[in-house]
């Protein structure tokens, strides 16, 4: 941007070429560095995810792109623009929740300590609303695994489905664009893609496009799942201070839980975390009891309420705990049913006041519950729920013993023993 304005046309060629100063690893090209310092133009990657996807899968897609933009930003001034949160399917309350910024849920400074990212609103404040130069709708190849093995490939071609972007009379494409009616795109293409994040990085850095949007970003695979960099990206996803404070207050007032006593004191800066297995957790058990669509989606794995109560009773007695915190999307009467089946224990959940709900929305309430669960002495999740997975990761980062973390409820037919979650241990 600056480059265009200040140096104008005569220097344009320099500007354009700066990003193509290719430097071999371990070799420093000073000319290149000088040029790019003067002329580097910021470049922006926007993205969106398949609309029905839930909050916690979207977090996973973010990580794939954060690792990628971090890589791209080593060579050029790339930024990832975070897609405002639309009203998700699971956000059922009536509060208005459209175009929510990431800063409501996450600590942007922590994210930025891993990779150059910004909220869309910040982008608009700094650069105005304009046309995004190119939209790529990612799509799967019809025969992704045709040869029976993984092969990275990509090609621009025919769209598998009718694109949700429409060519208007002014020659621009209109579309959803996170609910920003004033955003458009100049070009659109479907990109069949089968590969990991750095394959997309290479594709993007080889083009000269300055503002590009990748739709259906979930098609991109993790560059590397579960390695050190993956966990750095994951650790950088600290929740916003506001949400953490709400959880701190609830733990203190209702659960007699505090970081000192629970041995979960963490450095302010995630980069200073060292790993280890010394966390104890507060004197309560947490269960994430995923209901609603999981009841009919996974009938074999999701237990009936009497069975949940029975399983909790078993663990409480074994752990010698008297308090259960329940994180759940269940209607209140299902919570009460558990409460009365366990009337000899203290069974609690987090209830946001009207004002709090207006402030932090359904997404914030869900996160406060996740934080509370991640601090429990013992955690039991729901089979294959990404909501539960994110709690498990948080506990791994805080240094709980895996036995206290990788547990899930068992379906009714299983007589209390069933397949337990894979142990994805944190790497520091
Ligand atoms: N407050 C609260 N909300 C929950 C809870 N469990 C699920 N939800 C809501 O339902 C959504 C579930 O979607 P995901 O986060 O993607 O997790 P998932 O359990 O794998 O669900 P699917 O995406 O539908 O497979 C969450 O993001 C929440 O909005 C819970 O324990 N408490
Ligand atoms: C663009 O649209 C969004 C929502 O549709 C609105 O909040 C914003 O103020 C608009 N910006 C400009 C500069 O018109
Ligand atoms: C709260 O926890 C502390 C130990 O961390 C304990 O000494 C105290 O008795 C507990 N208070 C209640 C009310 O359970
Ligand atoms: C269920 O488990 C209990 C204890 O683990 C065992 O005694 C009982 O036989 C099991 N029942 C069935 C039907 O497998």
Is 183 in the same domain as 269? Answer: no
111 part of a folded domain: yes
177 within 8 A of 124, measured Cβ to Cβ: no
The CA 383 to ligand 3 mean position distance, Å, reads 33
Q: Indicate whether 76 and 184 sit together in one domain.
A: yes
For residue 13, being part of any structural domain is answered with no
Q: Which atom of ligand 3 is the closest one to the Cα of 262?
A: 5
Residue 27 among the catalytic residues: no
* Active-site residue, from 16, 19, 34, 53: 53
Atom of ligand 1 nearest to the CA of 53: 23
Q: What is the pLDDT of residue 146?
A: 66
How many structural domains is the chain composed of?
A: 2
Supply the range of the domain harboring residue 167.
42-219
Domain membership flag for residue 412: no
Is 391 touching ligand 1 by the criterion CB < 6 Å?
no
Residue 359 zone, left/alpha/beta (φ > 0; ψ -120 to 50; rest) = alpha
**E strands, 22-174, in order:** 43-47, 78-82, 117-119, 131-139, 153-157, 166-167, 173-174
Considering the domain architecture, whether residues 209 and 279 belong to the same structural domain is answered as no
Q: Is residue 357 part of a domain?
A: yes
Report the pLDDT averaged over residues 363-390: 98
Q: Does 174 lie in the same domain as 68? A: yes
- Tell me what percent of the residues of the chain surpass a pLDDT of 70: 89
**199 and 254 both lie in a single domain:** no
Provide long-range contacts, Cβ within 8 A and 24+ apart, for 101-107. Answer: 103/240, 104/240, 104/242, 104/360, 104/361, 104/363, 104/364, 105/239, 105/240, 105/243, 105/363, 105/364, 105/367, 106/237, 106/238, 106/239, 106/240, 107/238, 107/239, 107/240, 107/241
Domain CATH number, residue 390: 3.40.50.11350
Q: How many CB atoms lie within 10 A of CB 54?
A: 17
Residues 260 and 302 in one domain: yes
* Ligand 2 mutation pick, 129, 130, 174, 175, max ligand atoms within 8 A of CB: 129
Shared domain for 209 and 333, answered yes or no, is no
Q: Is residue 15 part of a domain?
A: no
CA dihedral for 143, 149, 150, 152, sign (positive or negative): negative
pLDDT surpasses 90 at 278: yes
| Domain identity same for 62 and 101 | yes
Asked whether residue 262 falls in the same domain as residue 371, the answer is yes
Residue 419 lies in a domain: no
d(CA 242, CA 51): 27
Q: Which of 219, 250, 274 is the last residue of a domain?
A: 219
- Which ligand is in closest contact with the Cα of 176? 2
pLDDT above 90 (res 23): no
Residue 169 within a domain:
yes
Q: What is the mean pLDDT of residues 90-109?
A: 96
**Which ligand has its closest atom nearest to the C-alpha of 369?**
1
Ligand 1, atom 2: nearest CA belongs to which residue? Answer: 366
Residue nearest to atom 7 of ligand 2 (CA): 180
3-state helix, strand, coil in the chain (%, to 5): 40, 20, 40
The chain-wide mean pLDDT, for the chain, equals: 91
pLDDT at 145: 66
Question: Is the pLDDT confidence value at 391 over 80?
Answer: yes
**Is residue 147 domain-shared with residue 266, that is, in the same domain?**
no
Structure tokens that stand for 116 in this block: 């150059």
415 Cα–ligand 4 center, Å: 6
pLDDT (tens digit, 9 = 90+) per residue, 321-375?
Answer: 999 999 999 999 999 999 999 999 999 999 999 999 999 999 999 999 999 999 9
In a domain, 235, yes or no: no
* Closest residue to atom 1 of ligand 3, CA basis: 256
Residues 206 and 255 both lie in one domain: no
């Amino acid at each position: 941007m600056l480059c265009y304005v200040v140096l104008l046309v005569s220097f344009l060629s320099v500007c354009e070429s700066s990003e193509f100063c290719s430097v071999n690893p371990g070799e420093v090209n000073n000319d290149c560095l000088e040029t790019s310092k003067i002329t580097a133009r910021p470049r922006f990657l926007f993205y969106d995810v398949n609309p029905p996807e839930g909050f916690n899968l979207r977090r996973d897609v973010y990580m794939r792109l954060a690792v990628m933009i971090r890589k791209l930003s080593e060579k050029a001034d790339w930024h990832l623009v975070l897609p405002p949160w639309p009203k998700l399917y699971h956000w059922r309350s009536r509060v208005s929740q459209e175009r929510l910024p990431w800063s409501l849920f996450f600590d942007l400074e922590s994210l930025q300590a891993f990779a150059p990212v910004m909220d869309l609103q910040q982008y608009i404040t700094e650069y105005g609303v304009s046309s995004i130069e190119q939209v790529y709708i990612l799509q799967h190849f019809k025969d992704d695994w045709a040869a029976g093995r993984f092969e990275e490939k990509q090609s621009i071609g025919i769209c598998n489905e009718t694109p949700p972007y429409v060519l208007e009379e002014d020659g621009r494409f209109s579309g959803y664009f996170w609910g920003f009616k004033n955003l458009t795109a100049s070009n659109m293409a479907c990109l069949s893609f089968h590969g990991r994040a750095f394959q997309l990085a290479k594709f993007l850095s080889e083009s000269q496009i300055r503002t590009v949007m990748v739709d259906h970003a979930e098609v991109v695979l993790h560059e590397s799942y579960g390695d050190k960099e993956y966990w750095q990206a994951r650790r950088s996803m600290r929740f916003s201070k506001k949400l953490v404070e709400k959880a701190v207050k609830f733990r203190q007032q209702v659960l007699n839980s505090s970081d000192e006593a629970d041995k979960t004191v963490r450095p302010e800066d995630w980069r200073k975390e060292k790993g280890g297995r010394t966390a104890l957790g507060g004197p309560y058990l947490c269960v994430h009891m995923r209901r609603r669509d999981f009841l009919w989606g996974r009938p074999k794995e999701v237990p009936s309420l009497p069975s949940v109560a029975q399983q909790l009773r078993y663990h409480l007695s074994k752990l010698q705990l008297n308090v259960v915190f329940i994180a759940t999307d269940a209607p209140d009467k299902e919570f009460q049913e558990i409460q009365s089946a366990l009337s000899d224990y203290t069974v609690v959940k987090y209830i946001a006041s009207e004002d709090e709900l207006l402030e932090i929305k359904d997404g914030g309430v869900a996160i406060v519950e996740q934080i509370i669960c991640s601090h429990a002495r013992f955690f039991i999740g729901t089979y294959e729920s990404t909501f539960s997975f994110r709690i498990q990761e948080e506990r791994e980062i805080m240094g709980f013993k895996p036995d206290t973390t990788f547990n899930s409820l068992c379906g009714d037919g299983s007589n209390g023993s069933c397949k337990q979650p894979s142990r994805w241990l944190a790497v520091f």
